[in-house]
Amino acid sequence: MAQDFAVQILYQGVTTILMVSLPIVGVGLLVGFMISLFQAVTQIQEQTLTFVPKVISVLLMVAFTSPWIISIMVDFTTTLWSAIPGMAR
């Protein structure tokens, strides 16, 4: 297996991970920012106020995007499995 082939596989893996996690992390970041803004305006400093909405929004985002995530991951895995004969040369 050539070094550039291994780097290409790693690049595709990192790209896939970023593409799959970006919507979920983005929603968590957006909800966290909105809650922080609300807390700064109202001066309410409650720990559960930040935790519960972020968990709920991230879980909802995972539920809504799970078919897309699974299809991306299956495509990546299928590509890797089909490349195994080329790795043995």
Q: Does 8 map to a domain?
A: no
Residue 34: give the domain boundaries: 17-80
The dihedral built from the CA positions of residue 57, 60, 62 and 67, taken in this order, carries a sign that is: negative
Distance (Å, whole) CA 26 – CA 32: 10
Closest to 51 (Cα-Cα) out of 38, 24, 78, 32: 32
Q: Does 55 map to a domain?
A: yes
Residue 3 — very low, low, confident or very high, per pLDDT cuts 50/70/90? confident
pLDDT tens-place string over residues 29-65: 999 999 999 988 988 888 778 889 999 999 999 999 9
User: What pLDDT shows up at residue 1?
Assistant: 61
Domain count, the chain: 1
Q: Does 66 map to a domain?
A: yes
